[in-house]
Amino acid sequence: MEPLTPLDTADLFSGLNGELVALLNGLSPQDWERPTVAGAWQVRDVAAHLLDVMLRRVSGARDKHWMRPDGPIDDYRSLVGYLNRLNASWVAVAGRLSPRILTDLLAWTAPQVAEVMVSLPPHEQAMIGVAWAGEERSENWFDVGREYTEHWHHQAQIRDAVGAPGLYERRWLHPVIELCLYALPVAFRGLDRPEGTTLELEVTGEAGGTWSLVRTGDAWKLWRGAAARPAGRARMDGDTAWRLLFNALPAEAARRKILTEGDLALFDRLIAARGVMV
């Protein structure tokens, strides 16, 4: 095993969002109305949400224009509630926009997002911590990575809905998986096990890898690589991994798709882990 090291995803935004615009330009009117795994949102709603995400990022990081919350945010639940209201209000207004307008606005905004991402010094403190990873303060590389996972998984939702090939090549998906696994120590909080107890997680396929979550002191720590004698092993493919980590795979379906052996309580926590604000 070896310690995790920062992942640089800033250079990926240009290509990733170029793929998005190309995808949207090829959709039929019926495709825009298809349901997605994102709850009640249709394809057009997911695209509108991505536009909101991009515009807010450029406004904040480049122009220093940050919205004030509509109420006190003093814990994780109140933060999730605020974000849900923010997202819902934008999607409701975006219902007035045509698919062509949404696509044109995304094509105009995406290059500006890419410029902002590469401009951020990786190891300086980000404006916002990565809350689903349990961080009140994060370095820019992690916040940029969180933003990358946001862009990737919403595009994946659209691709899934319209039957388009997924972006499962290693350069796209591997960073998504590793970054989202930073949610595991949070998901395992409160699970008491002897020092050194380890869950080994293998994601198969081109974009996959092996990681180990180890009980260390009174917390859990994530490592890259395989453990010598894990208390539990879990194995899944990349498609299952992203759906699980982005709240798009019900628990029972996850139990059927993930191959496991060992301590069952470890798998209960794994299935509850989310690399997104829910």
pLDDT in tens, 153-193: 999 999 999 999 999 999 999 999 999 999 999 999 999 99
Number of folded domains that form the chain: 2
- Give domain status of residue 278, yes or no: no
| Domain identity same for 18 and 146 | yes
DSSP-derived secondary structure letter, 234: E
pLDDT the model gives residue 12? 98
Q: For 52-104, how does the pLDDT look when each residue is reduced to its tens digit (9 = 90+)?
A: 999 999 999 999 998 888 888 889 999 999 999 999 999 999 999 999 999 99
Give the C-alpha separation, 54 to 221, whole Å.
32
pLDDT the model gives residue 265? 94
| Domain identity same for 156 and 238 | no
Give the C-alpha separation, 158 to 23, whole Å.
9
Are 128 and 146 spatial neighbours (Cβ–Cβ below 8 Å)? no
Crossing angle of helices 99-119 and 43-57, in 10° steps, is 40
- Give domain status of residue 116, yes or no: yes
DSSP lists the bridge partners of residue 2 as: 224
| Domain identity same for 63 and 156 | yes
Q: What is the pTM of this model?
A: 0.96
| Domain identity same for 150 and 188 | no
Dump the DSSP string for 53-108: HHHHHIIIIIT---PPPSS---SHHHHHHHHHHHHHHHHHHHTTS-HHHHHHHHHH
Give the C-alpha separation, 178 to 224, whole Å.
9
pLDDT the model gives residue 69? 86
| Domain identity same for 97 and 8 | yes
Q: For 202-241, how does the pLDDT look when each residue is reduced to its tens digit (9 = 90+)?
A: 999 999 999 999 999 999 999 999 999 999 999 999 999 9
If pLDDT is split at 50, 70 and 90, which confidence band does 45 have?
Answer: very high
* CATH number of the structural domain spanning residue 116: 1.20.120.450
| Domain identity same for 94 and 200 | no
pLDDT the model gives residue 71? 85
pLDDT the model gives residue 67? 84
Tokens of 57: 């990022």
Burial 56-92 (b: 16+ CB within 10 A, else e): ebbeebeeeeeeeeeeeeeeeeebeebeeeebeebbe
Q: Where are the alpha helices (DSSP H) in the chain?
A: 13-25, 29-32, 43-57, 76-94, 99-119, 140-162, 170-180, 184-187, 238-245, 251-257, 264-272
pLDDT at 260 > cutoff 90: yes
CA-atom Rg of the chain in angstroms: 19
Phi, psi dihedrals of residue 50, rounded to the nearest 5°? -60, -40
| Domain identity same for 99 and 190 | no
| Number of C-beta neighbours around residue 153 at 10 A | 22
- Give the domain extent around 10: 2-126+139-167
pLDDT at 110 > cutoff 90: yes
* CATH number of the structural domain spanning residue 216: 3.30.1050.10
pLDDT the model gives residue 49? 98
DSSP helix/strand/coil, 20: helix
pLDDT at 114 > cutoff 90: yes
- Give domain status of residue 21, yes or no: yes
pLDDT the model gives residue 210? 98
| Domain identity same for 27 and 116 | yes
Give the C-alpha separation, 266 to 185, whole Å.
12
Phi, psi dihedrals of residue 220, rounded to the nearest 5°? -120, 140
pLDDT the model gives residue 70? 85
- Give domain status of residue 231, yes or no: yes
| Domain identity same for 91 and 189 | no
